[in-house]
Amino acid sequence: MSLGFTKNGISESVTVVTTKFTMNGNNFTHNTVLVPTSVGGLALPKGSIGTPGWTYLHNLDTSGNSVQILVASGGSVMTQLYAGEFQMLRFASTDSNPAAIALVSSVYLEVFMIEN
Protein backbone atom coordinates (compact mmCIF):
# COMPACT_ATOMS: atom_id res chain seq x y z
CA MET A 1 0.00 0.00 0.00
CA SER A 2 1.28 3.49 -0.69
CA LEU A 3 0.29 7.06 0.01
CA GLY A 4 1.50 9.97 -2.07
CA PHE A 5 0.74 13.33 -3.62
CA THR A 6 1.99 15.72 -6.29
CA LYS A 7 1.06 19.38 -6.13
CA ASN A 8 2.74 22.55 -7.43
CA GLY A 9 5.83 20.60 -8.46
CA ILE A 10 6.24 18.93 -5.06
CA SER A 11 5.90 15.17 -4.69
CA GLU A 12 6.13 12.88 -1.69
CA SER A 13 5.15 9.27 -1.08
CA VAL A 14 5.54 6.41 1.35
CA THR A 15 5.11 2.72 0.66
CA VAL A 16 4.19 0.15 3.30
CA VAL A 17 4.76 -3.55 2.75
CA THR A 18 1.91 -6.01 3.20
CA THR A 19 1.35 -6.60 6.90
CA LYS A 20 -0.40 -9.36 8.79
CA PHE A 21 -1.76 -8.37 12.17
CA THR A 22 -1.79 -10.33 15.39
CA MET A 23 -5.22 -11.02 16.81
CA ASN A 24 -6.01 -12.32 20.27
CA GLY A 25 -9.44 -13.69 19.42
CA ASN A 26 -10.56 -15.99 16.60
CA ASN A 27 -13.32 -13.96 14.96
CA PHE A 28 -13.62 -11.64 11.98
CA THR A 29 -16.36 -10.18 9.80
CA HIS A 30 -16.43 -8.84 6.22
CA ASN A 31 -19.61 -7.04 5.13
CA THR A 32 -20.95 -4.24 2.98
CA VAL A 33 -23.58 -2.18 4.80
CA LEU A 34 -25.86 0.69 3.82
CA VAL A 35 -25.08 3.53 6.23
CA PRO A 36 -28.01 5.92 6.90
CA THR A 37 -28.04 9.61 7.73
CA SER A 38 -30.28 9.00 10.75
CA VAL A 39 -29.26 10.35 14.14
CA GLY A 40 -26.94 7.97 15.98
CA GLY A 41 -25.86 6.20 12.80
CA LEU A 42 -25.57 2.45 12.28
CA ALA A 43 -23.57 0.09 14.50
CA LEU A 44 -20.83 -1.54 12.43
CA PRO A 45 -21.41 -5.29 12.01
CA LYS A 46 -19.26 -7.24 14.49
CA GLY A 47 -20.65 -10.74 14.18
CA SER A 48 -19.06 -12.77 17.02
CA ILE A 49 -16.29 -10.22 17.63
CA GLY A 50 -16.03 -9.19 21.27
CA THR A 51 -13.60 -6.27 20.96
CA PRO A 52 -12.89 -4.87 17.47
CA GLY A 53 -9.24 -4.64 16.47
CA TRP A 54 -7.75 -3.86 13.06
CA THR A 55 -10.41 -2.76 10.59
CA TYR A 56 -10.51 -1.85 6.90
CA LEU A 57 -13.24 0.65 5.92
CA HIS A 58 -14.07 1.66 2.33
CA ASN A 59 -16.68 4.27 1.38
CA LEU A 60 -18.08 2.81 -1.85
CA ASP A 61 -20.01 5.98 -2.77
CA THR A 62 -19.13 7.62 -6.09
CA SER A 63 -21.39 10.70 -5.80
CA GLY A 64 -19.45 12.78 -3.28
CA ASN A 65 -21.14 11.55 -0.09
CA SER A 66 -19.05 11.22 3.08
CA VAL A 67 -19.38 8.86 6.02
CA GLN A 68 -18.18 9.44 9.58
CA ILE A 69 -16.96 6.64 11.84
CA LEU A 70 -18.10 7.03 15.45
CA VAL A 71 -16.66 5.51 18.63
CA ALA A 72 -20.21 4.26 19.35
CA SER A 73 -23.75 4.84 18.10
CA GLY A 74 -24.43 8.52 18.79
CA GLY A 75 -20.83 8.91 20.02
CA SER A 76 -17.90 11.11 19.03
CA VAL A 77 -16.55 11.19 15.48
CA MET A 78 -13.18 9.45 15.20
CA THR A 79 -12.62 9.73 11.43
CA GLN A 80 -14.31 10.60 8.15
CA LEU A 81 -14.16 8.99 4.72
CA TYR A 82 -14.96 10.95 1.58
CA ALA A 83 -16.45 9.22 -1.49
CA GLY A 84 -14.20 6.40 -2.67
CA GLU A 85 -11.76 6.69 0.23
CA PHE A 86 -10.59 3.85 2.45
CA GLN A 87 -8.79 3.54 5.78
CA MET A 88 -7.19 0.89 7.89
CA LEU A 89 -7.25 1.54 11.59
CA ARG A 90 -7.14 -0.21 14.92
CA PHE A 91 -10.00 0.54 17.27
CA ALA A 92 -9.06 1.32 20.85
CA SER A 93 -10.10 -1.33 23.37
CA THR A 94 -12.70 1.16 24.69
CA ASP A 95 -14.34 1.40 21.23
CA SER A 96 -16.29 -1.83 21.62
CA ASN A 97 -19.33 -0.82 19.51
CA PRO A 98 -18.22 1.52 16.70
CA ALA A 99 -20.81 2.99 14.36
CA ALA A 100 -21.07 4.98 11.12
CA ILE A 101 -23.27 7.82 9.90
CA ALA A 102 -23.61 9.19 6.36
CA LEU A 103 -23.60 12.98 6.02
CA VAL A 104 -25.72 13.85 2.95
CA SER A 105 -27.36 10.65 1.78
CA SER A 106 -26.94 6.96 2.56
CA VAL A 107 -23.70 5.30 1.43
CA TYR A 108 -22.45 1.75 1.12
CA LEU A 109 -19.51 1.02 3.41
CA GLU A 110 -17.30 -2.06 3.14
CA VAL A 111 -16.17 -3.25 6.59
CA PHE A 112 -13.52 -5.91 7.20
CA MET A 113 -12.92 -6.24 10.96
CA ILE A 114 -10.77 -8.65 12.94
CA GLU A 115 -11.03 -9.29 16.64
CA ASN A 116 -8.56 -7.53 18.93
Instruction: Tell me the pLDDT tens digit for each residue of 8-46.
Output: 999 998 887 777 777 888 999 999 999 999 988 999 999
Does the pLDDT of residue 77 top 80, yes or no?
A: yes
For residue 80, what is the domain's CATH number? 2.60.120
pLDDT score, position 33: 97
Task: Report the domain count for the chain.
Answer: 1
| Residue 9 belongs to a domain | no
Q: Does 51 map to a domain?
A: yes
Residue 109: inside a domain, yes or no? yes
pLDDT in tens, 90-110: 998 888 899 999 999 999 999
Q: Does residue 85 have a pLDDT over 90?
A: yes
Residue 29 lies in a domain: yes
Give the domain extent around 104: 21-115
> Given CA atoms 21, 58, 95, 42 in this order, what sign does their dihedral have?
negative
Alpha-carbon separation of residue 65 from 44, 68, 115 (angstroms): 18, 10, 29
Summarised one tens digit per residue, pLDDT across range 58-76 is: 999 999 999 999 999 888 9
Which pTM was predicted?
0.88
Question: CA angle 7-8-12, nearest 5°?
Answer: 45
